[in-house]
Amino acid sequence: MNDSEDLSVSRVPDAAVAAAQRGRLRYYIEGQSTSLGRYILEQTLFFFLRGTPGLVGIGLRALAYRMILRSDGLPIVEDHVRLCQPANIHLGRQVYLDHGVYLHACPQGIFIGDETFVMHGSEMHVYNFRNLPHAGIWVGRNCFVGEFCLIRGQGGVHIGDAVLLAPRVQVLAVNHLFDDPSRPVIHQGITAQGIVVEDGAWIGAGATLLDGVRVGAGAVVGAGAVVTRDVPPRTLVVGTPAQVVRELDADLDTDEIQNEVFEAVHGEDESLHAAAVDLRRKK
């Protein structure tokens, strides 16, 4: 299969070239909104409401932001949340966006299911100027996206229900081509195959999921792991690259899973065991 037949490959020029071709002002506005009129409306609301703190700000944004995004009820949006192309953002009931969250939703958009929490500093980014057909981010119901997580959705990211992403997880559904040694990597294009995280999975703090992988239902990815291949359902994987270290028994509780992650990666280091105990106390 050549590049023209493979929809996951794009050799469209990088962002700087695309901006120069389209005109920098037009390129900027297209990246922020779906039309000039909507851009003016959205930026006006952001100017007056984005920085308003506390319950007053949450209440005002719940009413006003329904004019610019799609929501199954009143959205719960803290102060200083950045929304680009909000017309392509769909929030389910009781979705919570914490302080400093950044959602950038190009055409197919970002969908966040009912009662999902997206915590401080997390970013969901789908800036699809290359017209990739599967770009988008779909997050299921009752999920928790921890602080400072990064989800890049150029190839499409599908996250199931009741999935836990611990702080600083990276889900990167995009990769760069580098087969031509005569050209800088940034000019060679990208691949974007997509990532799937099935229901009930837990991705540990600082773990990275690379493009093209599927994490099976109920699987656990250890802290700091780099996932380069599919993770079978109900298994525990750790390391760089991540490897299966055991299948998860139906009666294995959360404390036992956390202990196995730390022991598999770090051995019996007492300070790390103490960190695991502290994590359990915070849950």
Average pLDDT, the chain: 87
Strands (E) in 184-242, as ranges, are 190-191, 195-197, 202-203, 208-210, 214-215, 220-221, 226-227, 235-238
Task: Output the pLDDT for position 266.
Answer: 53
Helix or strand holding residue 273 (H, E): helix 270-282
Q: What is the pLDDT of residue 24?
A: 84
The pLDDT of residue 189 is 84
Give per-10-residue mean pLDDT for the chain (283 aa): 59 66 83 94 97 97 97 96 97 98 91 98 84 89 98 96 98 92 87 95 98 97 98 97 90 62 52 44 45
**pLDDT by residue (tens digit) across 127-181?**
766 677 789 999 999 999 999 999 999 999 999 999 999 999 999 999 988 989 9
What CA–CA distance (Å, rounded) separates 37 from 67? 13
* Consecutive H or E run containing 275: helix 270-282
What are the DSSP calls for 28-84, one per residue? HHHHH-SSHHHHHHHHHHHHHHTT--HHHHHHHHHHHGGGTSEESS--EE-TT-EEE
Report yes or no: 224 and 205 within 8 Å, Cβ to Cβ: yes
Residue 11 pLDDT: 67
CATH tag, 9-248: 2.160.10.10
Tell me how long the chain is: 283
pLDDT at residue 120, as a whole number? 98
Q: What is the pLDDT of residue 104?
A: 96
Strand 150-152 with 170-172, pairing: parallel
Task: Map out the domains of the chain as residue ranges.
Answer: 9-248, 253-283
pLDDT at residue 271, as a whole number: 41
Q: What is the pLDDT of residue 91?
A: 98
- Cα dihedral value 236, 223, 195, 283, nearest 10: 90
